[in-house]
Structures are given as C-alpha cells and as structure tokens.
C-alpha cells in the first residue's frame, strides 16, 4: 500500500517495547522452500484481451533444448515458470566457441505479468522509486558458471537478454531454477471451497496463491515491492489466513511487531520494516492504527489465545483512546491532515463519514475485547452510542436514504459500506441502504483497490444482498483473472483495466495481499463457516 | 591489441606441454597491493585542449565533506584518484532520512579519462564486446553497508550516480577506497632517467606507470579490457621492464605459457588467457609467433638464464622453422590470409617487405641463441643470407633509395623501419634510408599505434638520427600527455587525436603496455645503458 500514504515525519517520539519485540522475534517463521522448474519458453505478443495488451505465447524454441541455443549479442529467452512465485533464481551458463575473450554481460528482468517485460525502465519517471523495477545488469568474467542471484523476486517470467558476449564466443543456458519461499508454502488449506462453481473455485485458488506468496518473514503487502507489514492489509490477510492456511504464529508475530513500536502518545505506525532491522515507519493513518484493535479482536475470536490478549490489550486501549480523542462533544470525529484516514486510494472520495464508521467498527471490537478482559466498558459503550447517534444525525440523509459525507454532502460508496460494516443501522435498514446504493452508486466507478471492493462485497453479504455480492466477486476478481492474473493485484479499476497508480506497469504489484479476501468472503458468507 | 587480429579458428590442433605449464604456474607472481584514497571530487567540463574535448575540473563540493552530501534520484559524484590505477573499489554507504522503504539503485562508471564518463553505453554498437564498458548497475537492499565491487577495473575516475533511493530517504558516501594491484607495485625503478629534461622525465614517469599497471598475473596488454598476454606486446613490455622494474619472473612465466601451448605444427598462439583457466587463443599472427624467439633472445641476453634457454630453445626453433617454411626458393617470404602478419593496425599499409624484415630480425636472434646452445648454425646462416639478399633484390628501389612493398611497390614507413631494425643494410645505408624516409614519409600519417611508433623511433636511433628520435618521442608520447594522459594509450594518431579503432572512447584502452617503451628507448639509446 502506498500512494498518498506517503509521509515523512521527522519529529516522531517512539517508545519501543523490547518485551513485545522479543516475542515478535521468537515467532519468526522458518520459511519453507520448494524448487520450481520453468514449464516453457515464451514470447510476449500483442493481445488486446490481456492486461495492458500483452500475453505470453509459446516460443518457437523448445525448453527441453534450452542448452543447445547459443546466445550472443541481443539474443534473449523468456522463461515461464507456469505460475506466480516468490523466491530466488539461478541458472547455469556454458560457453561455446573460441576462448572467452570478453566478459558476458546480461540483462535479467523479472515479471509477474507479460506486460512488464515490454516496459523500458529508462523511461519510468514516477514518484515511486525506480529501484523497485525488477531487473539486474550482470557482468560475468568467468563462464562456465552458475549464476545465483542473491536478491528475492516475485515473478512468473524471467527474461534473460545477452547484452553481449563477444564475436568469438556465445553462451548457452541450462538448469534454470526458482527456489520458491513462503511461511506456508507446503501447508494444506483446511477447508476446500467445494461450491461446484468453476469461476469461484478459480478465484479461490488465485486468492490463496496471492496470500501464500505474501506470507514471508511477515505478512508482506506485495512481495514484488514493499516487502512490508501494513496494519490495514494485515487485518485482511489474517482473516483470509484463518479461512485457509490458518497459520496463527505469523499473525501473532505481526501483532507484537506493531505493539512493540508505538509512539509515546499511543499511536501505532501504519507499517513496519523488518529488514535490515525491525523499525517502524514514520507514517500514520487513523484507520490503520485502529485496525490493530480489529486484528487483535479477530485473532482472539479465532484462537482464544488469552496470553496474547492480555499482553496486547493495553496497546489496543491506547489506540482506541487516541482515536476517540479526535471526537468532539457532539460525537463527531474530526481529523486533520496530520493524521489522515486511508479508507481507499481515491482522493476524490470524501472520507469523513467512512472514518466515523471505522471508529465505530473498531470501538465495538474493543468493547468485546474489554469484556473478555472483564474490564468495565460503560464509558466506551456511552461513547459508542454517541458516535452512532452522531453518524445517523449528521451523516444520514433521510430523503436520499443514503449516508452523505463532508461539507458537500457527497454520496459515495465508502460511506454506505462502512456504515453497514459498523452496524450503525439495523438489518432491514442495511438491506435498504445497500439496495439504494446499488441503484445510485453501481456500477462502481473511481475505485481502484481490491481493498475497497472487499469492503463493498462484505457489506453486500451482511446487508443480505448475497447474489450481488457473489456477482461482484465474479466480476471484479474474475475480471483480473480474465486479463491474465495468476495472483490478484494491488490495483484494478474495471473501467480502466490498464490503470497504474504509479504511471508504469513495471512498478505495480500484481500479487498484493489485500486482494486475497475472496477466500475469506466465500467461506464465511457462502459456505457459512466460522472463520 | 585487437582489431583485424580478430580470428576464429575451430580446427586448431594443440599440443599442450604440462612441464612448461607447471613452470609457468610456479612463477605466478604474488600481486602487491596498496590502498589509494581519492584526491578530490570533480566535474567533467568541455575543454577543447584535452582528449575528446573533456577535462576534469574541481567540483564545487569538497571531498572532505563527502559524507555530508545526501544523494537521491539523479544525484552523482565523481571521485578522482589522482592517477591511473588497476584494482578494486569500495565505498561505505549510509542512509539519511526516514526508514529505507525501497532499495538503493546505483550506476557506477569507471574511467581512465574524463571523456569516457560522457559516453552513453546504450549507444555503443561497435564490434568489440559491449561487456568491456566499465560500468555496473547495483541494487542495495540494505543500507548502511560497505559496497565492495568484486571485479577489477583500470581507472582514475569513478562516477557514482544514484538512479534512485526513494522520496523518503537518501544516501551518503564515505571512505571511498581503491586497492591498487600490480606485480611490481612497490618495486623501485633501478635506473632513474636523470636527463634533466622535464618533458622526457614526464614521459618516462608515464611510461613506467603504464608498464606497472599492465604487470599483473601476466603481462596484460591493457588492464581495462583484454587482460591478456599477447606475444608481440610481451616483447616490448619485457624490454621496458628490464630497463625499469627488472622483474624477471613474470617474463619467464610468460615465455613458459606460450611454449606450453603450441600447435602440433609448431606455431605459437598470438595470445593466451590465464582466466578462468590457462588456454591459448585460436588467433595466429606470423610476426607474433616469431617474437617468441625475440623475447627468449632478449631474456637470455639480459639474464643469462641457461635453464630457460635450454628448456625453450626447441620451441623457438620450431617457431623459426615454421616461419622459414613460408620462404620460397628465391628467398622471398610469401604469406597467405590464414597466417597474417600484424606489423601495425593499418590495413592500407602493404606489409610484405616488413614481414620479410621481421623474419630476418628474428632469425638473427635465433642464430645467436643457437650459438649459445653450441648448436650448428650453418644452414640458418645460409637462409639468413638468402633472405637478406632477396630483401635487397626485390624490395629495395635504388632510384628512390627506399624499400618498396607489394605488387604496387608501395613505399611505407613500416618497410623502412623494419629493414633498419633487421640490419639488412650497413650503418651508412641505414642513415641514408631514414634520412630519405624523413623527407618522403614524415610527418607520419595513417599510423595509430604506439607499437609502430616505437619501431620508428628505435630505427631512427639505430640509424643515427638521435635528435629526430628524441623529438618524435616528445611529439608523439608528449602529445598524449598534453591531451591529459596519465598512462599511454592503445591507439593515438596525432592527426586524429580522437580516433578510436572501436568507434567509442568507452571501449578504448588508455593504459596499454605496448606504448610504454620510451622508458626503454631513452635508457638504451640516450643514457646508453645496457638494457
């Protein structure tokens, strides 16, 4: 997650907690590994039906004869590993012809989708760092050799281009190999979907792969790029994980990481780094901080792990108290630019009402946690009532039958959805709200994140619009699959399928864990499993 | 040395001699090392007086404050190490600002001359491998770190460009360091020039540095590029070495390397590789093969090393016998395209007469070696007389007073010079020949190699034109210094100072050992030392 979540705060006062950070370290996963061999050689060809107009087609050359193809200046091959993976790449190089009278110079590109291989990194000038473009330039002074790249990549395709050998010799490639890594690489999914719907089955498969590839040393947002643990993304990843791999240790570790690095005033960083060292990012988002409460609540509901609840309750309390401190005497949440709310990437959506709903949503979960702690909750319940009353009073437009947001009384999808999720209205009202939303706000426009689409779908399920919820899953996540997705993407706007928030397909993440939630949604709301 | 010396011969039958190759391995030098720190930060600025129109000027930034300059996207610094060196580079990186939310991506270029830093490697499309362009692209996932580049470079300047950090952090550089290597890095030159001529003194200094930087695991031709031992270049390097560092082991090792890898018919490769393994190149040059005789002769004259003479005499004999096998019954050498003679890079010079002279030159040295071996030389002396007679009969134009070459009776500088060096005429005739050459062929045109200029100067000295010889050294080698040379170049044509045989300054070698001979010429012919 990035975009306007980009912040620099030089004046943050941190209060690291080594007891929590040690627990986080003690729960560091041992990554599982598997060797993956490529399945074929491909060419990238123009194809209007696929993402960005490119697809991978069989090359005229045969993978089984790879070591017979002599490659010199400007020659290249593209290896297809058959599916998306996160891991390491190596390949053997042999030399053919006269003695090696010059180094071998290679350009190696890694791609999650074929379109990425058609980009030229020199032309990228977006605000996101160019250093994320997955390519290397490598001189080899000695061939034969085994080229072992030390960096980790997220990819399905590897293009190896020979910038030059020399006029006297060429190289051949042999034994290309990917070592895939994940905390749950070999873990079986406990509850198969079994809905006898091939479209939903494929969406579930791709969701699981997306989640699996993000479960590394922490829950990474997208393994291609950030490699970082974001709190709001974690909340969804944890839910999808309970419904599939059910690896509890990595959620526990993640909770301790955030709890171990609060600010002195009780805020939690929106994300943390674990490499080169464990450190919190100086970025703060109102809703992400509250989702610590939410993630702890969900973890406890799923595991009944009292030790973790006892350890982390105070951190959750501080997070909720910081959130409540922005509520005025009328029960209205009022934020400023120093502590923005995320909700969605869009900057055209007014987020005032959605933020109020998210605070209600988290406060309810906090009260549940407090009751489990057997602590008094009266004050919080009063605040909750005040927040809900204010939401109805100031944000619900009875004439429209929809929530409005901001001084312009904007009617947007985020407000309706979060009010449903927060349970501000009763069941019948929720049904009506989403029925009106469908008329007024569907088909959805201007939303590019699977993260927001997740909340829309969940609100539809909760409000009783099951058929619409399933259709939206099929349209939105199925839309990515139709365009060639092996894993679900960081961003996808069905109205602009080629949209990149960064101005280049080369830096987009095409395996982004906040998009993996169909596995959770389908199990919870269609299979009616307790996840 | 390269250009039309480029050959591919797939059908060569080799007869490796492990006894000789073991002796070569036993004489492998232990490289000496020295730490060199940069002397300043520079900018490259337009300067018509310097090579290719560029020179290095003081940067507005201060090297002493290097670690205070925060570098982000598109920032760069150029380090000047004050002189040409061969070795390894490392630098410490620190990180400043918010946590490192993206890798650091660097582009590092190494340059012997400022002009190289102005080239764009993407635009180079010459026949010489692009892999020789001295640049690296490096991702660093973790900063702080010490970046230690594993490859060896030949350079004075290092440009470190930050392709990107991220908008949240920058890097700083500290402790840049070059570890210089050479077999004679710390060896004192035995015989200072002491001619009280600052121009000649500077030329001697630059010659010595050029030689020193080429003396590595073998006598490399140019440490920037080939890293290879060429026989014709070795002959000149060995002579310059006797006059300066006088390291005998490396010459001995080089002789055993060539003797260890002949063809079954007795030819010697024009060059050999020692990395990744010891192997002879499939390139053969008539004159280079004969220069094995010459190099062994010079080595024995200098060292009186009877063991080496005994070991390698038969190799020399085979080389001379192969050479003589191309002589017809009239005493005229006749070569074909399968065994070309080098003489000089130029393809417009007819080399027939020069090749005849080179055979005479080598045969005389072989006879000297044979006499030292106390072997009968009568047959060889007869062949020598026949070759000399033929040279005078068929190649000397009495009317012109100059040697002619080829069917067009071309008069060129190479023929005159090699006839002098071969001693075909007597002293008075030599004086006249070079006097006529000066009138007819000076100022020299169309010659771009210091290798050929060396032979012109030596011929002038031998023929009694000492003043002209010294002036030519000052004009030609001094011309490179005036253009900014720290070491002497692979190619220099005073009439086209920007000439590159490869179409780009980025792949030229600006420290090329066949240009280091002024140290030898001045000591032998001006100081009159026995070298």
Q: What is the pLDDT of residues B336-378, one digit of tens each?
A: 888 999 999 988 999 999 999 999 999 999 999 999 999 999 9
Q: What is the pLDDT of residues B418-457, one digit of tens each?
A: 999 999 999 999 999 999 999 999 999 999 999 999 999 9
Residue B164 with chain A: CB contacts under 8 Å: 129-131
Binary contact (A101, B281; C-beta < 8 A): yes
Do residues A165 and A204 both lie within one domain? no
Tokens of B459: 């011929």
Does residue B121 sit within a domain?
A: yes
What secondary structure, in 3-state letters, does B218-276 show? CECCCCCCCCCEEHHHHHHHHHHHHCCCCCHHHHHHHHHHHHCCEECCCCECCEEECCC
Evaluate if residue B3 carries a pLDDT over 70. no
Binary contact (A282, B98; C-beta < 8 A): yes
- Interatomic CA distance for residues A37 and A175, integer angstroms: 8
Q: What is the pLDDT of residues B222-280, one digit of tens each?
A: 999 988 999 999 999 999 999 999 999 999 999 999 999 999 999 999 999 998 889 99
Nearest to B165 among A129, A166, A279 (CB): A129
Please tell me the predicted confidence (pLDDT) of residue B530: 74
Helical pair B198-214 and B466-482, crossing angle rounded to 10 deg: 70
- Interatomic CA distance for residues A257 and A271, integer angstroms: 10
- Interatomic CA distance for residues A209 and A516, integer angstroms: 8
Do residues A204 and A173 both lie within one domain? no
Quick one: how far is CA A260 from the chain centroid? 22
Binary contact (A103, B132; C-beta < 8 A): yes
Evaluate if residue B2 carries a pLDDT over 50. no
Range scoring the smallest mean pLDDT among A56-60, B60-64, B344-348: B344-348
Nearest to A167 among B6, B163, B164 (CB): B6
Domain boundary among A149, A182, A215: A182
Are residues A399 and A334 in contact, defined by beta-carbon separation less than 8 angstroms? Answer: no
Peptide bond into A443 cis (omega under 30): yes
Domain boundary among A125, A153, A182: A182
Tokens of B248: 């005998």
Taking the CA atoms of residue B455, residue B459, residue B461 and residue B466 in that order, the dihedral angle to the nearest 10 degrees is: -100
Evaluate if residue B18 carries a pLDDT over 90. yes
Please tell me the predicted confidence (pLDDT) of residue A227: 86
Q: Return the residue of B nearest to A144 by Cα.
A: B276
Q: What is the pLDDT of residues B478-513, one digit of tens each?
A: 999 999 999 999 999 999 988 887 888 889 999 999
Are residues A344 and A447 in contact, defined by beta-carbon separation less than 8 angstroms? Answer: yes
Characterize A186-204 residue by residue with b for buried, 16 or more Cβ atoms within 10 angstroms of its Cβ, and e for exposed.
eeebeeebeeeeeebeebb
Does residue A530 sit within a domain?
A: no
Does residue B27 sit within a domain?
A: no
Most confident region among A345-349, B10-14, B64-68 by mean pLDDT: B64-68
- Domain extent, residue B161, equals 35-182
The residue ranking higher by pLDDT, A399 or A3, is A399
CB neighbours of B198 closer than 8 A, spacing ≥ 6?
A: none
Helical pair B306-324 and B248-259, crossing angle rounded to 10 deg: 40
Peptide bond into A267 cis (omega under 30): no
Binary contact (B99, A276; C-beta < 8 A): no
Taking the CA atoms of residue B200, residue B202, residue B208 and residue B212 in that order, the dihedral angle to the nearest 10 degrees is: -170
Do residues B127 and B218 both lie within one domain? no
| A43: phi then psi, degrees, rounded to nearest 5 | -110, 150
Do residues B17 and B41 both lie within one domain? no
Please tell me the predicted confidence (pLDDT) of residue A189: 85
Q: How many CB pairs under 8 A join A and B?
A: 118
Mean pLDDT calculated for residue range A81-85: 98
Are residues B213 and B269 in contact, defined by beta-carbon separation less than 8 angstroms? Answer: no
Does residue B510 sit within a domain?
A: yes
Domain boundary among A155, A182, A209: A182
- Averaged pLDDT score across all residues of chain A: 95
Residue that has been written with the tokens 């200094």 in this structure: B205
Does residue B29 sit within a domain?
A: no
Residue A97 with chain B: CB contacts under 8 Å: 8
Quick one: how far is CA A225 from the chain centroid? 11
Do residues A23 and A142 both lie within one domain? no
Quick one: how far is CA A240 from the chain centroid? 11
Tokens of A11: 């004046």
Please tell me the predicted confidence (pLDDT) of residue A194: 86
Do residues B17 and B102 both lie within one domain? no
Evaluate if residue B206 carries a pLDDT over 90. yes
Mean pLDDT calculated for residue range A182-196: 90
Percent with pLDDT over 70 in chain A: 99
Residue that has been written with the tokens 């944000």 in this structure: A395
Strands (E), A270-422: 271-273, 279-280, 396-397, 402-403
- Interatomic CA distance for residues B203 and B338, integer angstroms: 38
- Interatomic CA distance for residues A144 and B275, integer angstroms: 12
Q: What is the pLDDT of residues A208-221, one digit of tens each?
A: 999 999 999 999 99
Residue B281 with chain A: CB contacts under 8 Å: 98-99, 101
Please tell me the predicted confidence (pLDDT) of residue B355: 98
Do residues A239 and A326 both lie within one domain? yes
How close is the nearest chain B Cα to the Cα of A74, in Å? 11
* DSSP codes of every residue in B397-463: ETTTTEE-BTTTTB--HHHHHHHHHTT-S-HHHHHHHHHHHHHHH-S--S---HHHHHHHHHHHHHT
Residue that has been written with the tokens 């407090």 in this structure: A370
| B402: phi then psi, degrees, rounded to nearest 5 | -140, 160
Q: Which of B71, B74, B101, B504 to mutate to test the interface with A (most CBs of A within 10 A)?
A: B101
Are residues B162 and B72 in contact, defined by beta-carbon separation less than 8 angstroms? Answer: yes
Tokens of B371: 């006499």
| B359: phi then psi, degrees, rounded to nearest 5 | -65, -40
Do residues B397 and B490 both lie within one domain? yes
Percent with pLDDT over 70 in chain B: 99
Do residues A145 and A236 both lie within one domain? no
Range scoring the smallest mean pLDDT among A439-443, A499-503, B118-122: A499-503
Q: Does B164 touch chain A (CB under 8 A)?
A: yes
Please tell me the predicted confidence (pLDDT) of residue B45: 98
Binary contact (A73, B130; C-beta < 8 A): yes
Please tell me the predicted confidence (pLDDT) of residue A5: 65
| First vs last C-alpha separation in chain A | 25
Please tell me the predicted confidence (pLDDT) of residue B122: 87
| Helix or strand (DSSP H, E) at A78 | strand A76-97
CB neighbours of A442 closer than 8 A, spacing ≥ 6?
A: none
Q: What is the pLDDT of residues A401-456, one digit of tens each?
A: 999 999 999 999 999 999 999 999 999 999 999 999 999 999 999 999 999 999 99
Do residues A61 and A146 both lie within one domain? yes
Evaluate if residue A3 carries a pLDDT over 70. no
Does residue B196 sit within a domain?
A: no
Q: Is B78 helix (H, G, I), strand (E, B) or coil?
A: strand
Q: Return the residue of A nearest to B103 by Cα.
A: A131
Are residues A330 and A390 in contact, defined by beta-carbon separation less than 8 angstroms? Answer: yes
Please give the tally of structural domains in chain B: 2
Please tell me the predicted confidence (pLDDT) of residue A2: 40
- Interatomic CA distance for residues B80 and B427, integer angstroms: 49
Evaluate if residue A461 carries a pLDDT over 50. yes
Q: Number of helices and strands (H, E) in chain A?
A: 13, 14
Mean pLDDT calculated for residue range A332-358: 94
| Helix or strand (DSSP H, E) at A522 | none
Do residues A71 and A214 both lie within one domain? no
The residue ranking higher by pLDDT, B1 or B284, is B284
Evaluate if residue B91 carries a pLDDT over 80. yes
CA of A519: how far to CAs of A190, A229, B205, B307, in Å?
Answer: 12, 20, 75, 81
What is the helix, strand, coil percentage profile of chain A, to 5?
Answer: 40, 20, 40
- Interatomic CA distance for residues A220 and A341, integer angstroms: 21
Q: Which of A94, A129, A223 to mutate to test the interface with B (most CBs of B within 10 A)?
A: A129
CA of B68: how far to CAs of B63, B89, B173, B508, in Å?
Answer: 10, 20, 8, 35
Please tell me the predicted confidence (pLDDT) of residue A4: 55
Here the ipTM equals: 0.94
CATH number at residue A96: 2.60.120.260
Do residues B284 and B374 both lie within one domain? yes
- Interatomic CA distance for residues B134 and B506, integer angstroms: 8
Does residue B49 sit within a domain?
A: yes
CB neighbours of B426 closer than 8 A, spacing ≥ 6?
A: none
Characterize B234-268 residue by residue with b for buried, 16 or more Cβ atoms within 10 angstroms of its Cβ, and e for exposed.
bbbbbbbbbbbbbbbebbbbbbbbbbbbbbeebbb
CB neighbours of A304 closer than 8 A, spacing ≥ 6?
A: none
Residue B147 with chain A: CB contacts under 8 Å: none
Does residue A531 sit within a domain?
A: no
CATH number at residue B323: 1.50.10.10
Mean pLDDT calculated for residue range B132-155: 97
Residue A125 with chain B: CB contacts under 8 Å: none
Q: What is the pLDDT of residues A275-319, one digit of tens each?
A: 888 999 999 999 999 999 999 999 999 999 999 999 999 999 999
- Averaged pLDDT score across all residues of chain B: 95
The residue ranking higher by pLDDT, A192 or B320, is B320
């Amino acid at each position: 997650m990035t975009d306007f979540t980009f912040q620099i705060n030089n004046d943050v006062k941190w209060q690291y907690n080594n007891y929590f950070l040690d627990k986080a370290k003690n729960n560091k996963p041992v990554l599982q590994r598997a060797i993956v061999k490529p399945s074929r050689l491909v060419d990238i060809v123009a194809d209007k039906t696929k993402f960005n107009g490119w697809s991978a087609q069989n090359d005229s050359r045969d993978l089984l004869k790879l070591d017979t193809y002599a490659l010199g200046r400007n020659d290249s091959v593209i290896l297809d590993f058959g599916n998306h993976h996160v891991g390491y790449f190596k390949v053997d190089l042999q030399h053919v012809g006269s003695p090696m009278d010059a180094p071998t110079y290679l350009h190696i590109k890694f791609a999650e989708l074929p379109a990425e291989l058609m980009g030229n990194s020199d032309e990228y000038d977006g605000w996101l760092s160019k250093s994320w473009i997955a390519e290397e330039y490598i001189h080899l002074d000695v061939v034969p050799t085994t080229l072992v790249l030390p960096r980790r990549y997220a990819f399905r395709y590897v293009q190896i281009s020979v910038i030059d050998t020399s006029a006297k010799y060429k190289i051949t490639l042999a034994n290309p190999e990917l070592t895939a890594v994940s905390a749950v690489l070999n873990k079986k999914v406990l509850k198969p979907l079994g809905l006898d719907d091939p479209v939903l089955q494929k969406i579930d498969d791709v969701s699981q792969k997306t989640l699996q590839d993000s479960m590394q040393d922490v829950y990474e947002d997208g393994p291609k790029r950030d490699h970082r643990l974001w709190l709001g993304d974690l909340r969804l990843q944890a839910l999808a994980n309970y419904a599939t791999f059910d690896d509890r240790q990595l959620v526990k570790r993640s909770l301790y990481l955030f709890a171990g690095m609060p600010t002195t005033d009780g805020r939690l960083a929106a994300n943390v780094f674990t490499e080169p060292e464990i450190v919190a990012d100086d970025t703060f988002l109102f809703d992400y901080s509250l989702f610590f409460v939410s993630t702890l609540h969900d973890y406890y509901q799923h595991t009944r792990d009292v030790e973790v609840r006892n350890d982390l309750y105070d951190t959750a309390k501080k997070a909720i108290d910081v959130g409540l401190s922005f509520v005025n005497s009328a029960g209205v949440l009022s934020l400023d630019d120093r502590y923005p709310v995320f909700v969605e990437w869009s900057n055209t959506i007014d987020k005032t009402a959605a933020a109020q709903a998210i605070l209600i949503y988290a406060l309810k979960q906090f009260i549940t946690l407090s009751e489990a702690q057997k602590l008094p909750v009266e004050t919080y319940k009063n605040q909750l009532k005040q927040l809900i009353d204010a939401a109805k009073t100031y944000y619900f437009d009875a004439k429209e039958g929809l929530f409005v947001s901001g001084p312009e009384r904007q009617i947007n999808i985020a407000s309706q959805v979060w009010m449903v999720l927060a349970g501000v209205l009763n069941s019948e009202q929720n049904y009506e709200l989403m029925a009106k939303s469908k008329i007024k706000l569907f088909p959805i426009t201007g939303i590019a994140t699977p993260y927001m689409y997740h909340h829309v779908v969940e609100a539809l399920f909760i409000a009783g619009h099951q058929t619409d919820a399933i259709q939206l899953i099929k349209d939105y996540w199925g839309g990515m699959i139709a365009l060639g997705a092996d894993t679900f993407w960081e961003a996808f706007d069905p109205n602009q399928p080629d949209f990149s928030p960064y101005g280049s397909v080369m830096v987009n993440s095409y395996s982004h864990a906040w998009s993996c939630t169909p596995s959770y949604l389908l199990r919870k709301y269609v299979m009616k499993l307790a996840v």
